[in-house]
Amino acid sequence: MAQKKTSSIVDAYLVAYNAASFIGWAYVLIQTTLYLSEHGTNLDGLFARVGYPLIYVQTGATLEIIHSLIGFVRSSPMTVLMQVYSRLLLVWGTLYMFDYPEVRASNALVLMIFAWSITECVRYSHYALSLVGIEVYPLLYLRYTLFYVLYPMGVTGELLEMWAALPHAAAIRPALKGFFLLNMVNYPPVLYKLYTHMIRQRRKVLGCEGSKAKTQGAESAESAVSKKKKL
């Protein structure tokens, strides 16, 4: 009985966490879209509009490392750590640290924001609904398909952001520039690991595409995911 009550509390917490994260990322996505519709290619005020909301909502994802470590979810702590670490490096190590147009008013930032926010809006809404027993197949399909495009798009934006920060990092300390370069060199193997992980997850959850994927993927495979609360 106590175990069931504890499980219910954890489920309620995860629903709240996923819903709050969805709202945060939706705000960043909407505000970025509105800014671009209002100002076009003039990105001088983009960071002022969405910079700090982006930093805060991404920093909140550090909780996912804790979730995996204490067993709230069944995700691999190492996989979660790799995903969260690279993004924290971008929001705090580049965007927050370097107030320069090539960092805060760049097309790379736009690429990064759209790739991250679309990915997370789909992911968090999908898991929040799954945890309360609502299965939406289009969200399931997007969750395990959009990464084909959004992962390379996001990585391109991230690498360009770090590249733009290199001269400013070197001005502070040469070792800081070396740290950024080391992280950039590590991107290909890490991207390969995350990309192949998502491909395996897609095959596991969706199986073959078509009507079979829609019925079995949504009803059985994703049901198992939601029950295990895998983020």
Unique residue bearing structure tokens 């705000």: 27
158 noted as active-site residue: yes
What crossing angle do the helices spanning 147-172 and 174-206 adopt, rounded to 10°?
Answer: 170
- Report d(CA 52, CA 39) in Å as an integer: 19
Unique residue bearing structure tokens 């309360």: 132
CB atoms within 10 A of CB 109: 27
According to DSSP, residue 95 is labeled I
Which contacts of 27-34 are long-range, i.e. CB under 8 A and separated by 24 or more positions? 27/53, 27/57, 28/53, 28/54, 28/57, 28/113, 28/117, 29/113, 29/114, 29/117, 29/118, 29/121, 32/110, 32/113, 32/114, 32/117
Q: Which two tokens stand for residue 187?
A: 């991107």
Judged by DSSP in three states, 93 sits in helix
User: Among residues 17, 35, 64, 158, which one is catalytic?
Assistant: 158
- Report d(CA 7, CA 149) in Å as an integer: 36
Nearest to 222 by CA among 183, 208, 207: 207
User: Among residues 85, 100, 151, 187, which one is catalytic?
Assistant: 151
Residues with catalytic roles: 151, 158
